[in-house]
Amino acid sequence: MGDVLFTSAIDGLLIGVIYGLAAMGLTLIFGVMDVINLAHGPLIALGMFGVYLLFTLMGLNPFVAVIIVAAIGLLLGVLIYFIAVSRVIDAPPLSSLLSTFSVNMIIIGIGTAMLSTSSYNVDYSLGTLDLGFFRAPGSRIAASLVALLTTVLLYFFLYRTRPGKYIRAVANNRISAELMGIPSTRILALAFGIGVMLATVAGGLIATILPINILAGGSYELKSFVIVVLGGLGNPLGALLGGLILGLIEGLVPVFMKTTWVPVIEYVLFVLILLVRPQGILGAKE
Amino acid sequence: MKRLFKPGLLIPIAIIVALAIWPLFSGNSASAREAMFTLIMSMALASSLNIILGYTGYVSFGHIVFFGIGGYAGFWVITHLGWHILPAALLGGLVAAIIAWLLGLAVLRLRGAYFALATIGILEAMKALVINLDFLGGPVGLEMHFSEYKRYGGPMESLWMVYWSMAFLAILVIVVSYFIKTSKFGLGLMAIREDEDAAEVMGVITPRAKTWAYVLSAVFPGIIGVLFFFKNGNIEPGDAFRLHFSIEWIVMLMLGGAGTVLGPVLGGGIYQWLRKTLLTSPIFKDYQLVVAGVMLLIIVLFVPTGIIGWVRTRSAKLRRIFE
Amino acid sequence: MSRKWILVFALVLALTWTLAACGGQKAATEAPKAEEPAATEEAKEEAPAAKEKTVVVGFTASQTGKYNVPSTRQTTGLQMWMDEVNKAGGVKLSDGTVLKFKAVSYDDESNKDRVQELYTKLATDDKADFLISPYSSGLTAAAAVIAEQYGIPMITTGAASDATYKQGYTVVYQAYTPASRYLTGAIDLLMDLDPNAKKVAFVYENSKFATDVNEAAKAYAEKNGFDVVLFEGYDPDIKDFNAIINKIEAAAPDAILGGGHFQDGSTFARQLYEKGAKVKFISLLVAPPEPTFAELGDAAVGVIGPSQWEPAAKYTPESAKAAGIEWYGPTGEEFTKAYQAAHDGEEPSYHVAGGYAAGLILQKAIETADSVEKDAVLKAMDAIDMMTFFGHIKFDTSEEAHGLQIGHDMILIQWQKDGGKLVKQVVWPKAGATADPIYPIR
């Protein structure tokens, strides 16, 4: 029993870091501009296919491909911001929910027409890491490490660089930030771009370990919702914690009951936290 | 009484009646009936959602949860207790209403995006729960024995019966929607939509008003769920609680104009008609989702009040006709 | 206020009453209308001159989505049958009418809610004479309701779940071996290989088909003294089997049984291998017999799968004679050769054979009925008892399980390495085996 718990916990944490990274994109955007990005799932899927195509067509190492995907994700995010988000940023929440959902439909529509909804695999293996008491595919461990590294970089960016500090200032109070001479439109676009970038990177990493299809982002989007609420809406570092918690739930709950109960627990927890402690476990945005 | 003969009520009812009797005049009545069923059902669902979303301003993203709950309740009593479809449909509505009331007490305290997220959570939790409930058939759902249709005179008669019930229900939703909008209760809801705290100060008992709006908006999807799944002959968690369908209702509502009586009728009709046209057109078949997405984006960005809202702001004369 | 409400209610009631009355009338007039085409057909048949008539066969195929691979193959098989019949001059009836077949199909996107809409369209707009099922038990259950509602005979292929044939349908016929007999052979094989094997784990997709298969197999395993250490369903959209693999390892079974459809099954086999799990015996549904399963490479080695049909299957006119059953249609060799000629030598999978067999069943029924009139064809279907390249075909005609396949049987295949190349070997039943099974795998 102890063995299973240990293995399941480690497995859960490994995937949890990646979940956390995906959720960070969502929560950053919400924290800065109060927009829930409903195109999050399809953007994760775009990240997956970015890595898949770079790997399959150009033979690029998937972990190198993730860097290119990140750059494309940033640009795409800025583009989406100016097309779909900037006009509705001060409108009631329904407007931004629907405008980002329309982006969702457009991406899924184009993706389905071009790639169909069939599954693809990135055929890339780093062997199996066997420590005797614990075994895991090498690519899983590598993907988790890259996710962790990205989180650290994000932290540095937000707390140690000028644009990062601007983003936090705008998140805190856009009007005062503008009064202080911070170019808020540009900063908002940048924040949206980074949020999308994080989603695509997470998608790219997922592609290295799990099968992908154009609709696959949807389930990670739902997981991201749960995570951001766990970690506090608008709190990027809380998302990492939320991701780890979700990973642990997914790893450990099946040891005690059927795997199909996992989503029940996740979503009930999600609604309960929204009701009882909407600022999340760590507290909401600063 | 005078309220009854206002064009604001008569126009949407006339639209539904005209659509409903269309299959009687078209040559291929079975396929016309199927098309009209989808259309009228969408109109009724969008109008139900309008009560909580359009009038009260609470964005219920996972509203299909009531469609699923009602559908399961009704389907279960039909297959397990041998109920007739009509009482079963009413039961579906009742169960949906009770659950909406209980949920409403808790989640209607949340505002804005938090409420929207909570409704998604409730939907997904309910779907995951039903998958684990063996008496509801778990992941594979419930199937109805075909001999059930014999009770109503055979499959064709059953389909027509469901169809007319659907049309009747759609008209009922419109009537309810109209009376809410023109009543003091409706004014209270719209006050909540504009500024909840101010509404409270002005004497609207907001928790009670919101809960009632939520319950009213849940009853009809519950009943429609039973009709829909009875017609399909089976019910599965994936169909009963499909988030995407729920979001489509919002799109219909926005297209026609949220917070108006005619808007959801128009929006539901146009959306389904467009979808069908795009799906069967060889050029747009693969890109129908893209076209729908671009359309939605344009509406949200440039015509956020929808078709009816836009018309109403443009012409004072039409404002008196369209509600 | 309350008086107004009563008035409104009265108005609405009156309106519905009128509508319902119209509806009733319509329903009454519609019934004879539906029979009209049949009447004109009879008139045509009576005409002395040889007339050509096009028989419309309607179905949906999953051109996209998770059922894409098997569904496309099924369609290929059906189309192959149709082309061959039409090329051979069609089916000739005794009154001289020549029947040619025409397929009308739509993309169901592997999505259930499109299926009913599209089958209604096939039944009404396209006036399909006969229907073929979509791929998968879930989609077929939805399509069967429409077939029955409009009374159009439907042959199902790629739809094994037993439940669909126990809903009181009268026009639905199954070409495949039903789910309840899918995995029982794997348990027989396991008992044969290792009398000491006691613990089995069932891990299966939460779909109609896989649930039916695994529940029946579980009952069979328990009856034979096995200890079922794990019996667990997973979401059809599952991507990550890690948690389940951990559970399997903790339960340490002698055999893993289960799976569901192609994508989840191949992902499961791949992740078991990547994780380095010890597996002695594994039998999964649907995915292994599919030729593309070989793309998994080493992860595929040793995986067993029940198959509806294999090119190596030994159903011949001679074996039919020996069993005292009528032979019908091409031989397995002819079928395989024709398919390979059109597909660069690729072996046909059982989904192709199933699609072809569905057409064959329809053809046989029409020939026996000597008409395309529905009742006659249905009667001929009930009477079918024949051996084909696909195997023995015979339907249950009882009221409780009408249309259920009771003649056909399963074969088990296993992927083995032959000089570095992956090959699919038949390992069960013993009489038809092409190789000895590998056991334990790793």
Contact C239 A15 (CB under 8 A): no
The predicted pLDDT at position C406 comes to 92
Token duo for residue C90: 């069609």
Nearest CA-CA partner of B23 in C120, C31, C18, C26: C26
- Considering only CB atoms, which residues of chain C are within 8 Å of chain A? 63-66, 68-69, 109-110, 206, 232-235, 237, 239-240, 242-244, 246-247, 249-250, 263, 267, 270-271, 274-276
Say if residues C27 and B149 touch (Cβ distance below 8 Å).
no
Distance separating alpha carbons of residues A201 and A69, to the nearest angstrom? 7
Task: Return the residue of C nearest to B285 by Cα.
Answer: C107
CA distance B33 to chain C (A): 10
Provide mean pLDDT across the span A246-257.
92
Q: Which residues of A touch B291 (CB under 8 A)?
A: 109
CA distance C276 to chain B (A): 30
The predicted pLDDT at position C135 comes to 93
Instruction: Tell whether A24 is covered by a domain.
Output: yes
CA distance B150 to chain C (A): 11
**β-strand C411-418 against C304-307: which pairing, if any?**
antiparallel
Burial of residue B56 (CB within 10 Å: 0-12, 13-18, 19+) is: buried
- Picking from C22, C64, C114 by the largest number of B CB atoms within 10 A of its own CB, the best residue to mutate is C22
Closest by Cβ to A260, choosing from C109, C235, C270: C235
Q: Is B69's Cβ below 8 Å from some Cβ in A?
A: no
Name the 3-class secondary structure at B19: helix
Distance separating alpha carbons of residues A280 and A276, to the nearest angstrom? 9
Kindly indicate the confidence band of residue C90, based on its pLDDT and cuts at 50, 70 and 90: very high
The CATH number of whichever domain residue A57 belongs to comes to: 1.10.3470
Is the ipTM higher than 0.85? The answer is yes
Which helix (H) or strand (E) segment holds residue C257: the answer is strand C255-259
Residue C6 has pLDDT above 60, yes or no: no
**Which of C21 and B48 is assigned the larger pLDDT?**
B48
Q: Which residues of C touch B31 (CB under 8 A)?
A: 120-121, 124-125
Contact C244 A7 (CB under 8 A): no
Nearest CA-CA partner of A106 in B288, B243, B247: B288
Q: Which residues of A touch B113 (CB under 8 A)?
A: 30, 34, 36, 93, 97
Q: Which residues constitute the domain of residue B62?
A: 2-321
Size of interface A-B (CB pairs under 8 A): 125
CA distance C158 to chain A (A): 18
A171-192 pLDDT tens trace: 888 889 989 888 889 999 999 9
Instruction: Tell whether A69 is covered by a domain.
Output: yes
Kindly indicate the confidence band of residue A53, based on its pLDDT and cuts at 50, 70 and 90: very high
The predicted pLDDT at position C40 comes to 44
Distance separating alpha carbons of residues B158 and C345, to the nearest angstrom? 51
Token duo for residue C368: 């026996």
The predicted pLDDT at position C19 comes to 45
3-state SS string for C286-333: CCCCCHHHHHHHHHHCCCEEEECCCCCCCCCHHHHHHHCCEECCCCHH
Token duo for residue C136: 């998968």
Q: Which residues of A touch C276 (CB under 8 A)?
A: 128, 130, 135
Kindly indicate the confidence band of residue C388, based on its pLDDT and cuts at 50, 70 and 90: very high
Residue C14 has pLDDT above 80, yes or no: no
Contact C23 B28 (CB under 8 A): no
The predicted pLDDT at position A236 comes to 82
Kindly indicate the confidence band of residue C5, based on its pLDDT and cuts at 50, 70 and 90: low
Start-to-end C-alpha separation, chain C: 79
| Chains adjacent to B (≥3 CB pairs closer than 8 angstroms) | A, C
Burial of residue B279 (CB within 10 Å: 0-12, 13-18, 19+) is: middle
**Which of C66 and C127 is assigned the larger pLDDT?**
C127
Say if residues C151 and C31 touch (Cβ distance below 8 Å).
no
Provide mean pLDDT across the span C408-423.
90
Query: How many structural domains are present in chain B?
Result: 1
Provide mean pLDDT across the span B102-120.
91
The CATH number of whichever domain residue B30 belongs to comes to: 1.10.3470
- With b for 16 or more beta-carbon neighbours within 10 A and e for fewer, the C236-254 pattern comes to bbbbbbbbbbbbbbbbebb
| Chains adjacent to C (≥3 CB pairs closer than 8 angstroms) | A, B
Q: Which residues constitute the domain of residue A56?
A: 2-119+136-276
Kindly indicate the confidence band of residue B310, based on its pLDDT and cuts at 50, 70 and 90: confident
Kindly indicate the confidence band of residue A61, based on its pLDDT and cuts at 50, 70 and 90: very high
The predicted pLDDT at position C42 comes to 44
For residue C163, what is the DSSP state? G
Token duo for residue A126: 């780093």
Contact C120 B34 (CB under 8 A): yes
Q: Tally the residues of chain A.
A: 286
CA distance C195 to chain A (A): 28
Closest by Cβ to A225, choosing from B117, B286, B294: B117
- Picking from B17, B67, B164 by the largest number of C CB atoms within 10 A of its own CB, the best residue to mutate is B164
- With b for 16 or more beta-carbon neighbours within 10 A and e for fewer, the A10-23 pattern comes to bbbbbbbbbbbbbb
Burial of residue A223 (CB within 10 Å: 0-12, 13-18, 19+) is: buried
Task: Return the residue of B nearest to A278 by Cα.
Answer: B114
Residue C2 has pLDDT above 60, yes or no: no
- Sign, CA torsion C352/C355/C358/C362: negative
CA distance C265 to chain A (A): 12
Query: How many structural domains are present in chain A?
Result: 1
Domains of chain C: 40-177+313-409 (3.40.50.2300), 181-307+410-432 (3.40.50.2300)
CA distance A228 to chain B (A): 11
Name the 3-class secondary structure at C266: helix
Neighbour tally for A142: CB within 10 Å: 18
Q: How many CA atoms lie within 13 A of C79 on its CB side?
A: 12
Which residues face C405 on adjacent strands? C395
Kindly indicate the confidence band of residue A18, based on its pLDDT and cuts at 50, 70 and 90: very high
CA C137 to chain centre: 7
The predicted pLDDT at position A116 comes to 78
Distance separating alpha carbons of residues A137 and C299, to the nearest angstrom? 13
Contact C7 B138 (CB under 8 A): no
Task: Return the residue of C nearest to B30 by Cα.
Answer: C124
The predicted pLDDT at position C47 comes to 47
Residue A64 has pLDDT above 60, yes or no: yes
pTM: 0.88
Contact A119 C246 (CB under 8 A): no
Size of interface B-C (CB pairs under 8 A): 115
Provide mean pLDDT across the span C208-218.
92
Q: Looking at A127-136, A244-253, B10-19, B269-278, which range is the least confident one?
A: A127-136
Q: Where are the alpha helices (DSSP H) in A81-126?
A: 93-115
